[in-house]
Amino acid sequence: MTDKNRIEELIREHISGTSMFIVSVKVSASNRITVLVDTREGITIDECALLHRHIEKALDRDSEDFELLVSSPGLDSPFTVIEQYYKNEGKKVAVVDNEGEKYTGILKNVTGGGFDLETEVKIKGAGKEKKDIPFNFDQVKATKIVLTI
């Protein structure tokens, strides 16, 4: 089985000095390597292909066969790294806290420790009012982008 740390090292080597960041790296028991990367602007197919070639060139298929997939995380994937919060600041997201409560709103004020979620709260007899709800990252079970059509 291919060493996950070796793959991460190869990725860091390739993305050093770029706006790319690692979202996740997985190596299955059957040696399927899945690399998810992104940038704040969104990653291109060409950027994924270049990273794929860089990793593949550094590994030896003769000593250990593998399957390699390099991609961006899907739009419906939950955020796993802080860079995804920065990338999606100002966009509508759904947040599930550790107690299972669900919130929807605009992602704002992302810092190293957490973020604010601008939501609309119904005020009895007065309509709706905007309210910022602060979250620490350790309070959050999952955050996903909300797709609007």
Would the pLDDT of 95 be above 80? Answer: yes
Q: In what order do the strands lie in the sheet with 127-136?
A: 127-136, 114-123, 102-108, 92-97, 140-145
Would the pLDDT of 61 be above 90? Answer: no
Q: Where are the domains of the chain?
A: 4-71, 82-145
Confidence at 12, pLDDT banded by 50, 70, 90: very high
| Residues across the chain | 149
Architecture of domain 4-71: 2-Layer Sandwich (3.30)
Mean pLDDT across the stretch 106-125? 89
Which CATH code for domain 82-145? 2.30.30.100
Taking alpha carbons only, the member of 94, 105, 48, 42 closest to residue 71 is 48
Mean pLDDT across the stretch 46-75? 92
Mean pLDDT across the stretch 102-128? 88
pTM for the full predicted model: 0.85
Among 15-24, 37-46, 55-64, 116-125, the minimum mean pLDDT is found in 116-125
